Chain A
Amino acid sequence: SNDTITKDEL
């Protein structure tokens, strides 16, 4: 899975 995808959520 890609870090940047969920880390854009709050």
Chain B
Amino acid sequence: MNIFRLAGDMTHLASVLVLLLKIHTIKSCAGVSLKTQELYALVFATRYLDIVTDFISVYNTVMKLIFLGSSFSIVWYIRHHRVVRRSYDKDQDTFRHYLLMIPCMLLALFVHEKFTFKEVMWTFSLYLEAVAILPQLVLLQRTRNIDNLTGQYVFLLGAYRGLYIFNWIYRYFTEPHFVHWITWIAGVVQTLLYADFFYYYFESWKNNVRLQLPA
């Protein structure tokens, strides 16, 4: 494993911890999109089908369990926790999941490496992950005051995607036959979606003002 990959995974882990910290200790999910969290739960559930069939490493299995467990528990918290659910911005979080899920499923059925159940589900998870942040970005744009933890959560998620691109560049030059178009294109699209957010995140950080996205 190269340094970019490890840094990417650690950033991803940090993003989940920041979100759990906000939900668990502050007992608030204000500004957090349930739609995005449900999409991530679906992304991990469809991508990690191999957790029971293939063993890669202890690291791999543990991380998969962490991402599965955290994404489902975040969804549970927002939907069912007595206190947390009251802070959910239901009226603002109106993005419709199926507008993302259906096109991703159709694309996965037609554009994949192998036509097997596991492979199509895995490809679906890549496409869906690429766009799963959209409901969260829309919600951020509607939220006038973005709190620090929510801003950091989205920043860490974007950083994780960016680091994965460096990881692929590194692997392309160091490993023979490392060419994975579907993974790469979906990953680059996903990272580009954060470009606008990053711009305003750094501007607010530079000027030391509260993060706010233009409507």
Q: Using CB atoms and an 8 Å cutoff, list the residues of chain A in contact with chain B.
A: 1-2, 4-10
Q: Which of A2, A4, A5, A9 has the most CB of B within 10 A?
A: A9
Q: Counting CB contacts under 8 A, is B189 at the interface?
A: no
Is A10 touching B64 in the complex (CB atoms < 8 A)? Answer: yes
**A10-B12, A10-B63, A10-B67 known; A5 and B56 CB under 8 Å?**
no
B179 cross-chain contacts in A, Cβ below 8 A: 1
* Smallest Cβ-Cβ distance to A5: which chain B residue: B178
A5 contacts B50, CB within 8 Å? no
B54 to chain A minimum Cβ distance, whole angstroms, is 7
Report A-chain residues with C-beta under 8 Å of the C-beta of B60. 8, 10
B56 & A8 in contact (Cβ 8 Å cutoff) = yes
Cα separation A4 to B171 with both chains bound (whole Å): 14
Size class of the contact patch on chain B? 20 to 34
A1, B113: Cα distance in complex, Å? 9
CB-based contact B175/A5 at 8 Å: yes
> Is B177 an interface position by the 8 A CB rule?
yes
Q: 19 A-B pairs, CB-CB below 8 angstroms?
A: A1-B113, A1-B180, A2-B177, A4-B56, A5-B171, A5-B178, A5-B180, A6-B180, A6-B183, A7-B54, A8-B56, A8-B60, A9-B5, A9-B164, A9-B183, A10-B12, A10-B63, A10-B64, A10-B67
Q: Does B89 contact A (CB under 8 A)?
A: no
Over the window 50-61 of chain B, the binary record of Cβ atoms lying under 8 Å from chain A Cβ atoms (1 yes, 0 no) is: 100010110010
